[in-house]
């Protein structure tokens, strides 16, 4: 069976809703339009145009209820819309006033949650919406990269969790593939793969955090993903998906063949 891409995602705002895509552009070692914005705490030291850890941002790892926020990002107009259960919380251009209103709306929602990073931490307010909306900057590490998992690995983990409905959105990968055995992608470390016309170096497994415990629909921490990965699969660290470094620029598309080439 030939391995193929079955889903593609980008994440315009760090830790918020993914955008399913039919194609993704790879440029500068990153996915175009991916993690171009982030809601950063007031007490962080980095300049607004610098990468920072998710622990210095409002993120799923510290505020699982963010999973309920739906977003729409207009690349051309540089406009961001945040909604909750179909009701618009904020719909703003990325000028100074719009950024402020987006931060206020998201902070008000986060403060209403039973679990979150803002309650009891006035030093983290006001939030700052950072990023120019164009440059992929707030990936898991400062070097960027692209993440990939297989549906077979997802099915294997779902079996261990006794939950056939485990959603791949928990893992925030850019690429989902089918046509390989469960966990086979972990054997690609140190090798190169070709997806469509783009080659990638597979550099490391993706070590997971508490963000994976958040249900993508309810925002509740409802599955022990981390301990299941380490105990059921005897992993030293909870690992799901791989991080890859693009070796060229180009387009990848749903349906593209995935081939280990080196």
Element (H, E) at 99: helix 96-111
Is pLDDT above 90 for 168?
yes
Q: How confident is the model at residue 48 (pLDDT cuts 50, 70, 90)?
A: confident
> Model confidence over 56-82: pLDDT tens digits?
999 999 999 999 999 999 999 999 999
The answer to whether residues 135 and 12 touch, using CB atoms and an 8 Å cutoff, is no
| Tally of CB atoms within 10 A around 50 | 13
Q: If you average pLDDT over every residue of the chain, what do you get?
A: 96
Average pLDDT of the residues in 91-120? 97
Q: How confident is the model at residue 255 (pLDDT cuts 50, 70, 90)?
A: very high
Dihedral angle at the C-alpha atoms of 38, 19, 242, 248, nearest 10 degrees?
Answer: -90
Is pLDDT above 90 for 1?
no
The secondary structure of residue 222, as a DSSP letter, is -
β-strand partners of 178: 4
Dihedral angle at the C-alpha atoms of 181, 183, 167, 229, nearest 10 degrees?
Answer: 140
The pLDDT, as a whole number, for residue 162 is 96
Beta pairing, strands 146-150 & 175-178: parallel
The pLDDT, as a whole number, for residue 32 is 95
Distance CA 228, CA 84 (A): 31
Which residues, 6+ apart, have CB-to-CB distance to 47 below 8 Å?
A: none
Q: How confident is the model at residue 141 (pLDDT cuts 50, 70, 90)?
A: confident
Average pLDDT of the residues in 160-187? 96
pTM of the model: 0.96
Average pLDDT of the residues in 108-117? 97
């Amino acid at each position: 069976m030939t391995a193929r891409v079955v889903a593609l995602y980008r994440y315009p705002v760090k830790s918020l809703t993914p955008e399913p895509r039919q194609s993704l552009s790879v440029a500068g070692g990153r996915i175009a339009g991916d993690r171009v914005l982030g809601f950063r705490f007031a007490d962080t030291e980095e300049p607004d145009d610098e990468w920072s850890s998710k622990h210095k941002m409002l993120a799923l790892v510290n505020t699982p209820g963010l999973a309920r926020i739906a977003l729409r990002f207009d690349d051309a107009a540089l406009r961001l819309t945040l909604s909750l259960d179909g009701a618009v919380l904020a719909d703003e251009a990325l000028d100074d006033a719009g950024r402020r209103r987006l931060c206020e709306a998201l902070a008000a929602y986060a403060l209403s949650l039973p679990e979150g990073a803002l309650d009891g931490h006035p030093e983290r307010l006001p939030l700052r919406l950072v990023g120019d909306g164009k440059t992929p900057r707030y990936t898991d590490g400062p070097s960027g990269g692209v993440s990939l998992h297989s549906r077979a690995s997802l099915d294997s983990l779902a079996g261990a969790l006794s939950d056939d409905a485990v959603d791949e959105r928990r893992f925030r990968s850019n690429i989902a593939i089918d046509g390989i055995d469960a966990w086979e992608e972990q054997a690609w470390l140190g090798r190169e793969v070709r997806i469509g016309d783009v080659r990638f170096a597979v550099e490391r497994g993706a070590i997971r955090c508490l963000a994976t415990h958040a249900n993508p629909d309810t925002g509740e921490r409802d599955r022990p993903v981390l301990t299941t990965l380490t105990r059921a699969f005897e992993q030293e660290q909870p690992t799901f998906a791989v991080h890859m470094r693009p070796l060229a620029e180009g387009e990848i598309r749903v349906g593209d063949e995935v081939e280990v080439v080196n």
